[in-house]
A and B are shown apart, each in its own frame.
Chain A
Amino acid sequence: MKVLLKTLGFSLALTLLFTFVTYLLPQVEGEAPVEKVVDLSSLTMDDFIALGEDLFNTKGTCTLCHKPAPLGRAPDIQGMNTVALSNERLADERYQGEAKDAAGYILESMLDPSRYVVATWGKKGTNDSESPMPAIDKPPIELSAIEMDAIIAYLQAKDGNDVTVVLPSPEDAASVASTDKKASDATALPAPATTVEEALGKYACTACHAMDSSDTLVGPGLVDIGTRLSMEDIRQSIVDPNAVIAEGFAAAMPADFATKMTVKELDMIVAYLVEKK
């Protein structure tokens, strides 16, 4: 028993010593990127530049590589005049990109980093034809167009250069959101709708059916559909629209909702319509 206690005591003490070492080191948490809501209607350029700096250091993860020698694995763009540097590269005969100015060059290097690789910074074995930098509008970084503009604004402003990117307006945000959605739709399967409004929009029901009147668009208005059809009939009209067609209407409704809709989405839409009396 004495040996057991001594060996256990030794083992435990050693374990605690290792734990103690972890307490001596800096205690930092690595937060996952948090989507920030920025009120664009009151956004100033200073705010936008500050947002860019924050993105550069956090969500953009730019500082993982872009830091001073000898630690950096990419040019130290925070320590150099980025605009002057961009103009030098635009003038380089190796440059084959499409950018015309510094802002365009910075944006291009974020979206397509291999378009121009600074000498000695390329992937090993590629003779500087390929950059190790990921496209930052794609996973795992996924910056939006506005976020990239903010970073450009920061990189321009930090050395006293004129900021040439335009401050985003609420309309731009809507446009970006729409673009993002389109891009997302193109590359990903749509996420399930969480509300009935989303579901109606997702399946474009309102493109053919008026929900708040009996007006006929392509299909009949549904303002009082709950008085005309039972829950089961409504469900059947969605999943198998050609089973019973309303009098005077052609068989124009898509027949593939049964395979496209999730059960939850179908239930939401049916419950919503059955209440329309």
Chain B
Amino acid sequence: MNDKRPSNQPERPSTQIRWGRLLWFALSMLLLVSGLAQAAEQDTTLDRITPIGMVQATGEPLTTKTTPDIADVDTAEPIAAPRPSRSDYPDIGVSSRAIVWILAQLHLFFAALVLAVPLFVLTIELLGVYTGDDRYDNMAYEFMKISLTGFSITAIFGGSLALALFLLYPDFMGYMMHVFGAQVLVYAILFFLESFFLYTYYYGWNAFRYGNLKWVHLSLGLMLNAAGLTIMVVANSWATFMMAPSGVNEVGAVVGNIWEIMKGPLWNPINLHRFIANIAFGGAVVGAYAAFKFLSTTDPDKRAHYDWMGYTSNFIAILAFLPLPFAGYWLMAEIYAYSQQMGITAMGGILAWLFIVQAVLIGTILLAGNFYLWAGMSRTDGSDRYKGLIKYIAVTLVVCFLIWVTPHTLILSASEISLLGGSHHHILGPLGIMPAKNVAVNLMLVVTFLSFQLYRRSDKVATVSWAPMGNALMVAIYVVAIVNIIFLGVYYGYFTNTVYKVGSSVAQVASTLVVIIAGIVIDTLMFRNAKTLPSHWGRIPDRAQYALFALPIAFTWLMGLMGYVRSSVKTHWHVYTVMKDNSPDNFIPTIAYAGNMITIVTVLFLLCVLFMFWVANLSSTRQAKPAAGGAV
């Protein structure tokens, strides 16, 4: 992860026994094989989007296994999706949607956090085992400690959400229970498993710290993650069923088995997207904890520790964030393949404006992440070699950010239209559409990786003979990738049929990925046995820590925003095409209303996280014994 950690620590005990490693290896292989088996079962796109109601029926060859004709349905006497009227929705005097919105979002925030933290905790713990540096182990334990209360908070919000849904949307929940049946009990059982592994993993940390027992401990962590991820994908299947139902016929009657119901066309794209986003989100949240602790102390050792912890958290957040847009592309491509109407509702219809807000948020994340890396360069004496490039990166980021937030259509008065010479500005207008934004976002990702690469190089001097050649190759890759990204965006975005836009964006993404992968490979090889320059943990301006607060705030807001978009593309359907939403809240609210709701959940989450951190620190606080006179 980073070899500039504060200092080296004790050696690994040498009395390791093989069976611990074997247990770890066997469990890892078991999980890997089961994952691959699941992936191998994936059908073709055609199969996966069958059936989805009558939308799919337009031209798609129907597969017989999941789309029986009406006669079959009648014979089996299936239960169609209910059609509740407005009066069937209980009215408790407050917007039902607002209540569910808040509870669902808080549940998801905490669920994301407690799923992500054990993932990178396990990775850091494993790193500690392989490097023999106890500081990794201590940091991993601290990450677990500060997020432990989060598991209970997740369950509290989850339970509240379920009760709210049953109270406020009884017909819908009745239908969902009917469709998913016993699967919800499996979901409940998984919580028992997760709790078992969570508590044994956390409370067993010091008891199973070295040697063979360490591998037992790692195995517990692996099983904790397996249980957590299974919970996530099960819950995801409910959300994706609502967006793109499978395993039911056109009236919502169940015609497939539970597996066919779960594996809708959007299930795996959402699984991947949430998996990656959770890691970025979790890293950002614990980074804020480290920043707060850093700012709260003047002890140089503690500042060095929390500086390192903050750096590691930022590393995790940004590293996970970089591939996130690609997972997003896949998800949107699958949404378009399932229903172009749904895709355009999100990207080109009423919800499209929200992507301007998304641009502001992602711009904030990238600017904050980059700023933190630039500020972090002050830790090392060797960073002067690269500081000259920072201004170019900053200019690129700002220009791309401005392109990204340029709206295509403006709400203008007649006089303003007259002054502008039309409804679209003749120069800025073209910057409002997706091709320009695709160029901007890819360039932002490329230069963010460049910041990261420069930071990583700042305390090293390559000693391999081919270092000049390696640098030249790296520069060439950057140049070619940047030219390719701009050319693809301009040519396919403005000079060919609009349907090629999405296709060209894939090639743009590939260019960005090539830069990232090539950069990692070249640097890994080039800086092997490199000369290391001194670095000083804790030597970073206080203002850099605020970047670590900006990240979780922007991530939280972004999750709230994109979750809202994901849910709203269903428009006035509880379950798209099979169960209509006839509730008083079945309309898409204004952007400002959505903004207010997202702010409310973000602030509530912030307060809950503060509580979580406070409780975590409370456990290590011991009140001084009162003096004999009774004074405290």
Residues of A with Cβ closer than 8 Å to B? 3-4, 6-8, 10-12, 14-16, 18-19, 21-23, 25-33, 61, 64-65, 69-73, 112-114, 120-121, 123-124, 129-135, 138-141, 186-189, 191
The answer on a CB contact under 8 Å between B54 and A29 is no
The answer on a CB contact under 8 Å between A27 and B571 is no
| Cβ-closest 9 pairs across A and B | A22-B595, A30-B588, A138-B54, A32-B572, A114-B59, A139-B577, A27-B590, A132-B340, A130-B59
Q: Which residues of B contact A138 (CB under 8 A)?
A: 53-55, 57-58, 250
User: Given A14-B553, A14-B554, A134-B58, does the pair A189, B80 have CB atoms closer than 8 Å?
Assistant: yes
The answer on a CB contact under 8 Å between A27 and B595 is no
The answer on a CB contact under 8 Å between A112 and B251 is no
* B83 close to chain A: CB less than 8 A: yes
Q: Which residues of B contact A32 (CB under 8 A)?
A: 571-572, 581, 586-587
Q: Which residues of B contact A131 (CB under 8 A)?
A: 58-59
Q: Which residues of A contact B345 (CB under 8 A)?
A: 61, 64
Alpha-carbon distance A210/B591, docked complex (angstroms)? 58
Q: Which residues of A contact B554 (CB under 8 A)?
A: 14, 18
The answer on a CB contact under 8 Å between A30 and B356 is no
Q: How many inter-chain residue pairs (CB < 8 Å) link A and B?
A: 178
* B79 close to chain A: CB less than 8 A: yes
Q: Which residues of A contact B357 (CB under 8 A)?
A: 18, 21-22, 25
* B339 close to chain A: CB less than 8 A: yes
Rounded to whole Å, the gap between the CB of A153 and the closest CB of chain B is: 23
The answer on a CB contact under 8 Å between B54 and A27 is no
Q: Which of B80, B340, B344, B578 contacts A139 (CB 8 A)?
A: B578
Rounded to whole Å, the gap between the CB of A250 and the closest CB of chain B is: 27
The answer on a CB contact under 8 Å between B350 and A30 is yes
Rounded to whole Å, the gap between the CB of B419 and the closest CB of chain A is: 19
The winner among B59, B568, B603 for most chain A CB atoms within 10 A is B59
Alpha-carbon distance A204/B59, docked complex (angstroms)? 38
Rounded to whole Å, the gap between the CB of B104 and the closest CB of chain A is: 19
Q: Which residues of B contact A22 (CB under 8 A)?
A: 357, 591-592, 594-596
The answer on a CB contact under 8 Å between B592 and A120 is no
Q: Which of A71, A113, A188 contacts B59 (CB 8 A)?
A: A113
* B70 close to chain A: CB less than 8 A: yes
The answer on a CB contact under 8 Å between A72 and B58 is no
Alpha-carbon distance A27/B546, docked complex (angstroms)? 32
Alpha-carbon distance A133/B336, docked complex (angstroms)? 11
The answer on a CB contact under 8 Å between A140 and B573 is yes
Alpha-carbon distance A117/B568, docked complex (angstroms)? 30
User: Given A22-B592, A71-B498, does the pair A3, B295 have CB atoms closer than 8 Å?
Assistant: yes
CB nearest to A138 among chain B residues: B54
Q: Which of B576, B587, B603 contacts A15 (CB 8 A)?
A: B603
Q: Which of A15, A72, A133 contacts B599 (CB 8 A)?
A: A15
The answer on a CB contact under 8 Å between B498 and A18 is no
The answer on a CB contact under 8 Å between A18 and B344 is no
Alpha-carbon distance A64/B343, docked complex (angstroms)? 10
Q: Which residues of A contact B592 (CB under 8 A)?
A: 22-23, 25, 27
The answer on a CB contact under 8 Å between B433 and A70 is yes
Alpha-carbon distance A72/B557, docked complex (angstroms)? 31
User: Given A21-B595, A124-B499, does the pair A187, B55 have CB atoms closer than 8 Å?
Assistant: no
Q: Which of A28, A114, A187 contacts B70 (CB 8 A)?
A: A187
The answer on a CB contact under 8 Å between B595 and A19 is yes
The answer on a CB contact under 8 Å between B348 and A64 is yes
CB nearest to A12 among chain B residues: B603
Q: Which residues of B contact A135 (CB under 8 A)?
A: 54-55, 57-58
The answer on a CB contact under 8 Å between B498 and A72 is yes
Q: Which residues of A contact B588 (CB under 8 A)?
A: 29-31
Q: Which residues of A contact B606 (CB under 8 A)?
A: 8, 11-12, 15
The answer on a CB contact under 8 Å between B557 and A15 is yes
Q: Which residues of B contact A30 (CB under 8 A)?
A: 349-351, 568, 571, 587-588
Q: Which of B58, B353, B598 contacts A114 (CB 8 A)?
A: B58
The answer on a CB contact under 8 Å between B339 and A134 is yes
CB nearest to B45 among chain A residues: A125
Q: Which residues of A contact B350 (CB under 8 A)?
A: 28, 30
* B200 close to chain A: CB less than 8 A: no
Known: A15-B602, A29-B588. 6 other contacts (CB 8 A): A12-B603, A27-B592, A130-B59, A134-B340, A140-B573, A187-B250
Task: Provide a sorted-by-A list of 21 A–B residue pairs whose CB atoms are within 8 angstroms.
Answer: A7-B292, A14-B364, A14-B553, A14-B554, A18-B357, A18-B557, A19-B596, A21-B357, A22-B592, A25-B353, A25-B407, A26-B353, A26-B411, A29-B589, A69-B498, A70-B494, A124-B503, A134-B340, A135-B57, A140-B571, A191-B83
